[in-house]
């Protein structure tokens, strides 16, 4: 629902009653929340105005599930015509490497809480040491489009090296690492049990990986409550998933990092943990602006550009670590859609969203050094 609050008392009622927040913040006069029927009763009792945006998000998830199961039996088709599960995405990295062993190889980054492997495709035609760009998806389990777009960026680079001079230019000069599923346990849980699961699967309630990084760890916009959707974990890098990505960025000469999320269509640059401008704010914003323009040039969609903290302050996120400790220009890109059904995006939008993701990565790779 979209709720409208007229007092801090009403806001407190909504905060207690809501199961999840789907707006960027719950501090304004209106914001979008997930509620059950009991929560709705609480709103009615207090006379809090609300509008139903999606009557039942479980119905939306069930329809998606039915579609995916039907599609799998009916036709394998274009790989990017439908969302793919963890095993299929992980296996596809091997397919891409086998297509162009001269350009691509699969590397092991680490092992998740429940023993699943976290892998990346290393793409390059550069000779000797070349600077690297890291692209990842799936820190948040339910943000399926981030997994598909990351995989698709890798696919396009493999397919386009011989024919697309821009891709060739990037891969001749740089190493591009693509890790589509940083949180495999969460992703599997989102496919098999709870479509709207966000965190990893650490016992007992999971950790929000994008609050588990060390820069600004423990700060505002993260929680010490283990049940919270933004639970940061017991200490920075307590989770094997964040360590796996951190170790890659530490070990390689990484100059830029794109962390794909959904949803909201935004490009966010450091800082996220403080409203203070980053030392190189203007340079970061210029890179972000180039990405936003490149995205708009593909399908006319607008991605808003701002510092992450201008969206909302959050300590312990990946982009701040990449920039503050990792020596890389870190960006969070919130992919499609802008709202509506949120994490459940129609599969027809995978390819156009991939066009946007690739445009952003190429624009960044061509400018950053
Ligand atoms: O909250 C997050 O981790 C990211 N948004 S999401 O809806 N995909 O969960 C945004 C993190 C960006 N950083 C800050 N806003 N500080
Ligand atoms: Zn996210």
Taken as a whole, the chain contains a residue count of 369
Check residue 172 and give its pLDDT.
Answer: 98
Taking 50 as the pLDDT cut, the residues of the chain under it are: none
Check residue 74 and give its pLDDT.
Answer: 60
- Closest-CA residue, ligand 1 atom 3, reads 210
Question: Considering 334, 348, 356, 366, which one is annotated as catalytic?
Answer: 334
Crossing angle for the helix pair 144-160 and 86-99, nearest 10 degrees? 10
∠ CA 269-275-279, nearest 5°, is: 60
CATH number, domain of 141, equals 3.40.630.10
Check residue 71 and give its pLDDT.
Answer: 74
| Contact by Cβ (8 Å): 17, 42 | yes
Pocket test for ligand 1, best of 210, 211, 274, 308 (most atoms within 8 A of CB): 210
Peptide bond into 337 cis (omega under 30): yes
Return the DSSP state at 22. -
Check residue 75 and give its pLDDT.
Answer: 64
Are 295 and 255 found together in one domain? yes
Whether residue 334 lies in the annotated active site = yes
Are 43 and 63 found together in one domain? no
| Contact by Cβ (8 Å): 233, 263 | no
Q: Among all chains, which residue has been given the structure tokens 């693509």?
A: 178
DSSP 3-state percent helix, strand, coil across the chain (nearest 5):
40, 15, 40
**Cα 209 from Cα 112, distance rounded (Å):** 12
Are 68 and 26 found together in one domain? no
Residue 326 token pair: 């990792």
Are 287 and 328 found together in one domain? yes
Are 28 and 137 found together in one domain? no
**Residue range of the domain that includes 19:** 2-53
How many C-beta neighbours within 10 Å does residue 286 have? 14
Domains: count for the chain: 2
Are 33 and 141 found together in one domain? no
Are 46 and 63 found together in one domain? no
**Cα 109 from Cα 101, distance rounded (Å):** 19
How many C-beta neighbours within 10 Å does residue 72 have? 14
**Cα 150 from Cα 177, distance rounded (Å):** 10
**Cα 1 from Cα 239, distance rounded (Å):** 33
Are 133 and 161 found together in one domain? yes
Ligand 1-lining residues (CB < 6 angstroms): 140, 143, 210, 261, 268, 272, 308-309, 311-314, 317, 332, 334
Are 346 and 201 found together in one domain? yes
Which residues lie below 8 Å from residue 221, measured CB to CB, with a gap of 6+?
211, 230, 272, 273, 312, 313, 314, 315
Residue 10 CA to ligand 1 center (angstroms) comes to 25
Are 21 and 126 found together in one domain? no
Check residue 341 and give its pLDDT.
Answer: 85
121 φ, ψ to 5°?
-95, 130
Check residue 76 and give its pLDDT.
Answer: 64
Pocket test for ligand 1, best of 308, 322, 345 (most atoms within 8 A of CB): 308
Are 329 and 210 found together in one domain? yes
**Cα 221 from Cα 26, distance rounded (Å):** 11
Residue 108: CA count within 13 A, CB half-sphere:
6
- Angstrom CA distances, 167 to 43, 69, 253, 335, 338, stand at 53, 35, 20, 21, 28
| Contact by Cβ (8 Å): 339, 304 | no
Are 237 and 323 found together in one domain? yes
51 φ, ψ to 5°?
-130, 130
Check residue 70 and give its pLDDT.
Answer: 86
């Amino acid at each position: 629902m979209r709720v409208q609050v007229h007092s801090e008392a009403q806001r407190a009622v909504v905060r207690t009653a809501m199961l999840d927040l789907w707006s960027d913040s719950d501090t304004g006069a209106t914001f979008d929340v997930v509620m059950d029927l009991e929560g709705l009763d609480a709103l009615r009792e207090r006379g809090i105005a609300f509008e139903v945006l999606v009557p039942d998000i479980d119905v939306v998830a069930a329809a998606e599930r039915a579609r995916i199961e039907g599609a799998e039996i009916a036709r394998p088709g274009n790989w990017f015509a439908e969302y793919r599960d963890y095993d299929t995405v992980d296996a596809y990295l091997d397919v891409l490497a086998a297509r162009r062993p001269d350009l691509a190889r699969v590397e092991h980054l680490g092992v998740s809480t429940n023993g699943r492997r976290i892998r990346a495709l290393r793409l390059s035609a550069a000779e000797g040491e070349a600077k690297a760009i890291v692209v990842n998806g799936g820190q948040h389990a339910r943000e399926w489009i981030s997994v598909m777009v990351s995989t698709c960026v890798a696919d396009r680079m493999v397919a386009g090296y011989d024919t697309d001079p821009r891709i060739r230019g990037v891969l001749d000069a740089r190493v591009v690492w693509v890790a589509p599923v940083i949180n495999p346990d969460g992703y599997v849980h989102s496919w098999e049990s709870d479509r709207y699961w966000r965190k990893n699967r650490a016992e007992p309630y999971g950790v929000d990986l994008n609050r588990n990084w060390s820069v600004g760890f423990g700060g505002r916009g993260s929680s010490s409550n283990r049940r919270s959707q933004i639970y940061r974990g017991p200490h920075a890098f307590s989770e094997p998933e964040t360590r796996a990505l951190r170790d890659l960025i530490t070990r390689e000469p990484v100059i830029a990092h794109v962390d794909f999320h959904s949803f909201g269509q935004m490009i966010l640059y450091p800082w996220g943990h403080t409203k203070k401008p980053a030392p190189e704010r203007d340079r970061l914003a210029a890179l972000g602006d180039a990405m936003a323009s490149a995205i708009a040039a593909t399908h006319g969609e607008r991605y808003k550009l701002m510092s992450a903290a201008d969206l909302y302050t959050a300590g312990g996120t990946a982009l701040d670590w990449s920039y503050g400790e990792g020596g890389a220009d870190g960006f969070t890109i919130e992919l499609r859609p802008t709202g509506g059904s949120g994490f459940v995006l129609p599969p027809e939008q995978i390819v156009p969203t991939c066009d946007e993701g690739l445009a952003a990565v190429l624009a960044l790779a061509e400018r950053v050094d």
